[in-house]
Amino acid sequence: MLMLEDVRDLVSGLGFTEDHNVYMGKLDAKQDKSIGVYNLKRSAPYTVAIGGKDKESYRTKQISILVHWNRSMRDTEAVGAELFEKLAAMREVRINEKQIKFIHPLVDQPVDVGTDDNGIYEMVIEIELIYERKGD
């Protein structure tokens, strides 16, 4: 099963920020130029292949990515857009022994969510990862 830490490692490997500035589950210290990876609060309905779970060749995982960048909307939007495009273009990527077939954006662009209490601009990217099912 694809886990949140796998997606965190995938995002970290893209090199947008230092590895220690890519978080999962909770963005604790909220350093500038950080990225948070979360399970999407709303999720897709449960589906099973005709013939049962053993007949499934893939599964999905829905994720929300928070780009918590800096005090410049221009910089934050640029990083959000570049991350969005890189994720949307991914095909046949292997991370932590998991094969991701492709990534499907759930919205057509990063969503501006304004600033945090310290005036740092933030954007959210919602994606669905389609990955090979191997013994899940």
Cβ neighbours for 9, distance < 8 A, ≥ 6 positions apart:
95, 96
Q: Which domain holds residue 31?
A: 4-132
Looking at residue 107, what DSSP letter applies?
S
Question: pLDDT grade, residue 49 (50/70/90)?
Answer: confident
- Please count the structural domains in the chain: 1
Mean pLDDT over the full length of the chain: 92
- 34 close to 22: Cβ distance less than 8 angstroms: yes
Question: pLDDT grade, residue 15 (50/70/90)?
Answer: very high
DSSP string over 45-62: PP---TT-GGG--EEEEE
Question: Could you report the per-residue pLDDT of 90-128, keeping only the tens digit for each?
Answer: 999 999 999 999 999 999 999 999 999 999 999 999 999
List the CATH number of the domain containing 49.
3.30.2000.30
Looking at residue 85, what DSSP letter applies?
H
Query: Quick one: how far is CA 133 from the chain centroid?
Result: 19
